Amino acid sequence: MVENKNILLGVSGGIAVYKACALTSKLTQAGANVKVMMTENAAKFVSPLTFQALSRNPVYIDTFDEKDTKKIAHIDVADWADIVIIAPATANIIGKIAGGIADDMLSTTLLATQASIYVAPAMNVHMYAHPAVIQNMQQLEKWGYHFIEPGAGYLACGYVGKGRLEEPEQIVKVVQQHQAKSSILTGKKVLVSAGPTREQIDPVRFFTNRSTGKMGFALAEAAANFGAEVTLVSGPTNLELSKNNVRRIDVTTAEEMYEAMNHYFLESDIVIKAAAVADYRPKQVFQEKMKKQEGTWQIEMERTRDILQSLGEVKTHQFLVGFAAETTNVLDYGKNKLQKKQLDAIVINDVSTEGAGFGGDMNVATYLNKDLQSTELALSTKQEMAEKILTLIHRDMKDEAK
């Protein structure tokens, strides 16, 4: 999966630079077009001429060394790359990327590229465990960077522990496997709903729920990373998409979400309704703020239209997935919803379980398909959960096509 791919290998300054030479050779042998970009400190460990000979391409070091006066080098290389691998990735370069610092050619190029970025850390065991380094890596993971874990063993500093750059063969293998996985939804159109809805009472009051939209946003971004053309219909949230390859439609009310989901449904191949839509809305909406009065205030509610059921009734080729947030008899309620609304699969959350409620960054759930084949999705980040769900959807769609 790296054959004929344009791969930029970013090499930062550490003793593990010598392994980057072998990595350049392995990538070239696998059929990739490789260009190497080094920091000035990396060039103190291994000569740029070595990488030039192995990659058969010029090596980039200095931001202001423009090899072609018609192009801005770091932008040109950033646009050229399909894949970026940073190996070795020192604590310094990881910190720069996480902080948005662009003070040399490599860090500047990394800010400019839209390619998939793989980070292979290499550093002292205590540096790797430092809270600042951990926080920086977590931030990059949230932004969609992919980490290739370092190995454990004898380090150049004399310590024994985790921090040794992964072997070049394994780095190539990880990238190949991930690239293969990243194309599983190529050619598919995916529609996702996310977040809560708001049902107005008067100009200053509304009914809503605790949904933040994090799960739906994670699903939309993961689907895009898997090669799909994605439309996200979002209720009111404070979230922003980390990439611009998702079409976002913002709505407020359950009725607006109903209209948007039905509008984009027919053109979609996979539809995932992760939004927490209001089941009821005030029957009367006041045009002026209701003043405080003596005694109680009763608000009559009416049902909103059931988005998921309406989609299940008209679906043809679409693979339709719902979510069920329950607190009791979760599997029974989930199974009933799956069958009643003619879904192909449902993701069931017991929101009373620690780590599975609204608002957090983690989730735990059960994926149940229409054949009642269930898969437990253990506690993980919502980004990881989204990838697992989409992988299961891809599996079930392949089984249907047989």
- Structure token pair of residue 177: 């496997």
Determine how β-strand 199-202 pairs with β-strand 205-207.
antiparallel
Which residues sit opposite 8 in a β-bridge? 35, 84
- Structure token pair of residue 159: 């310590």
Extended strands (E) in 104-147: 116-121, 146-147
Q: Which of 113, 126, 51 is nearest to 83 (CA)?
A: 113
- Determine which one of 157, 239, 299, 364 is catalytic: 157
- Structure token pair of residue 301: 């509610």
Which residues sit opposite 76 in a β-bridge? none
Extended strands (E) in 289-361: 301-303, 319-326, 345-350
Helix (H) or strand (E) holding 194: strand 189-194
CA distance 375 to 366: 6
Does residue 157 have an active-site annotation?
yes
CA distance 280 to 301: 6
**Catalytic (active-site) positions:** 157
